């Protein structure tokens, strides 16, 4: 018999790969943070011995969610301003608040709050675009979560830089500093087409090529963004990015709500990934990403929540349901973005967008043990004829009971193991008093 560190035996196991697979009464064996076997539970007991055996009689075990677009530290700005258009929200509320409050302490504490929320709702990896990256790394390391963190680049000054070159000078050395980190990935993150000149975008592309890094960018989020780009350059944003050589399988286009059929073809041809943020886009009335049309064209589509200042939560279960329902309504077709499609967008497709689908995003032998358990023994998810349907269309984030990243348990029966939740909330209350009093 082979010895392993952990065996988990849930009622249902959803590996995501192969697609549409639901395994009942199977168990998963973990050693050194990786999956070594998935077998019927009775056979697993014969073949393996373990230090720890966890039986989850009413649960689904599945890959952790990959939240492929966040501004994590903006959790400290949750609810600061609601119910106005994007550019008004940015120019008159968010950017002034950031100018006043951004600091390493703000980033660390806001990111810690976001990570606590994400772990408790089943996210095991998040792809972030914000400032003071070392402070965000510290929060992620303390929590033990997996994170992709973007070197944000603007042409305009913020507390983190005076101009594009300043952001690059401060950010690029971090690639060497964190290149061997087991849980941290760095990306390039030019904010948007309206805050980045062509010259800046070329420098971002060169830096990404130098460090073999992925590029995140808000792209075609609103109608105004497109009109401004055409007026300035004669090109729509995606066309402009293509002309500058940015579009590739390492480019992550976030939002993509204002799209033509030709742009769907271009996305497929250049092999970019698209991140759909349905709830943020609905709240800001930005538009609707044609997710199913992208998928039909062979484009990888992942899911993100955006930041809590515009969503206002980081709940990937809710995001899956919104993505499915919004697609069905906008396409006038109830078969689009099915439950299994939404679940794949929230897990494996997010890992693919980051180039990490060989490491996590599904539960197969050899991959990291990034897993979550969701209890379906609740009135809102009973009866559970089809666990995938129950997860996407009926469950809520409070049913996430346990979370593991690389085999380490970050949530144990709803209790955070690496973050002191009481101390965290006390600290956030102090931030709330400071921000609301000024």
- CATH number, position 226: 3.20.20.140
Share of the chain above pLDDT 90, in %: 93
* 387 domain-assigned: yes
368 to each of 34, 183, 192, 229, how far by Cα in Å?
4, 11, 33, 42
Nearest to 26 by CA among 45, 9, 14, 6: 9
Q: What is the pLDDT of residues 43-68, one digit of tens each?
A: 999 999 998 999 999 999 999 999 99
Query: Residue 322 CB: number of other CB atoms within 10 A?
Result: 22
* 427 domain-assigned: no
Bridge partners, residue 31, by sequence? 34
Specify whether 21 is located in the same domain as 85. no
Specify whether 288 is located in the same domain as 345. yes
Helix axes 133-143 and 104-120, enclosed angle (nearest 10): 40
Q: What is the mean pLDDT of residues 11-22?
A: 97
Q: What is the mean pLDDT of residues 88-110?
A: 91
How many structural domains are present in the chain? 2
178: which 2 tokens?
Answer: 């964190």
158: which 2 tokens?
Answer: 């913020």
Nearest to 124 by CA among 420, 411, 428, 323: 411
Specify whether 391 is located in the same domain as 254. no
Under the banding of pLDDT at 50, 70 and 90, the label for residue 437 is confident
Q: What is the pLDDT of residues 166-189, one digit of tens each?
A: 999 999 999 999 999 999 999 999
Q: What is the mean pLDDT of residues 67-96?
A: 91
Residue bearing the bigger pLDDT, 93 or 201: 201
Specify whether 347 is located in the same domain as 381. no
Q: What is the mean pLDDT of residues 81-101?
A: 87
Nearest-angstrom CA–CA distance, 93 and 165: 26
pLDDT of 125 reads 99
Q: Has residue 86 got a pLDDT over 90?
A: no
323 to each of 31, 305, 326, 330, how far by Cα in Å?
35, 11, 5, 11
How remote is the C-alpha of 336 from its chain's centroid? 22
Specify whether 23 is located in the same domain as 75. no
* 82 domain-assigned: yes
pLDDT of 68 reads 98
57: which 2 tokens?
Answer: 């009689």
pLDDT of 343 reads 98
Nearest-angstrom CA–CA distance, 410 and 372: 10
Specify whether 172 is located in the same domain as 234. yes
How remote is the C-alpha of 126 from its chain's centroid? 4
Nearest-angstrom CA–CA distance, 175 and 89: 32
Structural domain boundaries enclosing 383: 2-63+365-406
Q: What is the mean pLDDT of residues 94-121?
A: 95
pLDDT of 90 reads 83
Nearest-angstrom CA–CA distance, 372 and 72: 20
pLDDT of 325 reads 98
pLDDT of 178 reads 96
pLDDT of 87 reads 84
Specify whether 261 is located in the same domain as 305. yes
Q: Has residue 227 got a pLDDT over 90?
A: yes
Phi first, then psi: give them for residue 160, nearest 5 degrees: -105, 0
Nearest-angstrom CA–CA distance, 329 and 339: 15
pLDDT of 278 reads 98
Specify whether 222 is located in the same domain as 110. yes
* 197 domain-assigned: yes
Under the banding of pLDDT at 50, 70 and 90, the label for residue 89 is confident
411 to each of 42, 72, 310, 415, how far by Cα in Å?
26, 19, 26, 5
Specify whether 211 is located in the same domain as 309. yes
pLDDT of 428 reads 98
Q: Has residue 159 got a pLDDT over 90?
A: no
Specify whether 22 is located in the same domain as 53. yes
pLDDT of 342 reads 98
Q: Has residue 438 got a pLDDT over 80?
A: no
pLDDT of 339 reads 98
Q: What is the pLDDT of residues 355-374, one digit of tens each?
A: 999 999 999 999 999 999 99
Under the banding of pLDDT at 50, 70 and 90, the label for residue 274 is very high
- CATH number of the domain where residue 371 is located: 2.30.40.10
Q: Has residue 347 got a pLDDT over 90?
A: yes
Q: Has residue 433 got a pLDDT over 90?
A: yes
* 72 domain-assigned: yes
* 422 domain-assigned: no
* 290 domain-assigned: yes
Helix or strand (DSSP H, E) at 303 = strand 300-303
Specify whether 165 is located in the same domain as 225. yes
* 383 domain-assigned: yes
DSSP SS3 for 213: coil
pLDDT-wise least confident of 187-191, 289-293, 314-318, 434-438:
434-438
Residues in the chain: 438
pLDDT of 156 reads 87
List CB contacts of 154: < 8 A, sequence separation 6 or more.
Answer: 161, 163, 164, 167, 191, 195, 196
Q: What is the mean pLDDT of the chain?
A: 96
Specify whether 303 is located in the same domain as 372. no
pLDDT of 305 reads 98
Helices H, strands E: what count in the chain?
A: 18, 19
Among 308, 329, 353, the domain boundary falls at 353
């Amino acid at each position: 018999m082979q010895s392993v560190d952990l065996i988990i035996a849930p009622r249902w196991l959803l590996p995501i790969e192969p697609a549409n697979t639901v395994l009942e009464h199977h168990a998963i064996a973990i050693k050194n943070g990786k999956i070594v076997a998935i077998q019927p539970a009775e056979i697993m007991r014969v073949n393996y011995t373990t230090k720890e055996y966890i039986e989850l009689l009413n649960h689904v075990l599945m890959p952790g969610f990959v939240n492929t677009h966040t501004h994590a530290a903006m959790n400290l700005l949750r609810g600061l301003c609601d119910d106005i258009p994007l550019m008004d929200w940015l120019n008159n509320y968010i950017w002034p608040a950031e100018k006043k409050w951004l600091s390493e302490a703000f980033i660390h504490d806001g990111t810690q709050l976001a990570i606590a929320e994400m772990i408790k709702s089943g996210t095991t990896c998040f792809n972030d675009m914000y400032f003071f990256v070392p402070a965000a790394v510290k929060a992620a390391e303390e929590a033990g979560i997996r994170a992709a963190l973007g070197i944000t680049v603007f042409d305009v000054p913020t507390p983190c830089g005076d101009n594009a070159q300043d952001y690059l000078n401060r950010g690029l050395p971090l690639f060497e500093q964190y290149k061997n980190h087991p849980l941290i990935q760095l990306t390039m993150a030019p904010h948007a087409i309206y805050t980045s000149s062509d010259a800046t975008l070329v420098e971002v592309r060169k830096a990404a090529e130098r460090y073999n890094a992925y590029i995140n960018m808000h792209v075609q989020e609103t109608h105004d963004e497109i009109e401004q780009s055409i007026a300035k350059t004669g090109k729509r944003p995606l066309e402009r990015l293509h002309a500058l050589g940015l579009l590739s399988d390492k480019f992550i286009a976030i939002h993509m709500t204002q799209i033509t059929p030709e742009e769907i073809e271009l996305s497929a041809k250049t092999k970019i990934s698209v991140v759909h943020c349905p709830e943020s886009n609905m709240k800001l009335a930005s538009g609707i990403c044609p997710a199913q049309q992208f998928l039909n064209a062979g484009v990888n589509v992942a899911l993100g929540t955006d930041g809590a200042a515009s969503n206002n939560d980081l709940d990937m279960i809710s995001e899956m349901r919104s993505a499915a329902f919004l697609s069905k309504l906008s396409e006038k077709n109830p078969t689009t973005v099915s439950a299994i499609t939404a679940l794949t967008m929230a897990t494996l497709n997010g890992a693919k967008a980051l180039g990490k689908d060989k490491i996590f995003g599904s539960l197969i032998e050899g991959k990291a043990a990034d897993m979550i358990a969701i209890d379906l023994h609740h009135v809102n998810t009973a009866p559970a004829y089809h666990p995938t349907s129950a997860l996407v269309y009926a469950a809520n984030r409070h049913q996430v009971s346990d979370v593991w990243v690389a085999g380490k348990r970050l949530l144990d029966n709803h209790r955070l193991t690496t973050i002191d939740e009481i101390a965290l909330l006390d600290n956030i209350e102090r931030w709330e008093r400071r921000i609301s009093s000024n």
